[in-house]
Amino acid sequence: MTAQGIYINVSRRNDDLPEMIEDYSEKFNLSKADTVAEILRAYPKLIAYKHRVLEQESRSFGRLFSNAV
């Protein structure tokens, strides 16, 4: 059985990514592959959280100015 692999080709405009992955790997104490996997798994949760926060802020902002006019 052969090992499966995914390779990331980084363009010049994203040349900071290898260093960022290395930094997060050290911070999380994970391999580079596990670090990328953690980030990808956390991304949908981050986006959902961002939408909830924006909704909450928008509702608060609406209440703040509901008596205006």
Asked whether the predicted pLDDT for residue 68 surpasses 70, the reply is no
The per-residue pLDDT for range 7-60, each reduced to its tens digit, is 888 899 999 999 999 999 999 999 999 999 999 999 999 999 999 999 988 887
Q: What is the pLDDT of residue 65?
A: 63
CB 55 within 8 A of CB 66: no
Residue 25 to residues 31, 34, 41, 51, 63, Cα–Cα distance (Å):
6, 8, 15, 28, 43
Give the pTM: 0.67
Q: What is the pLDDT of residue 45?
A: 96
Sorted by where each begins, the domain ranges of the chain are: 12-64
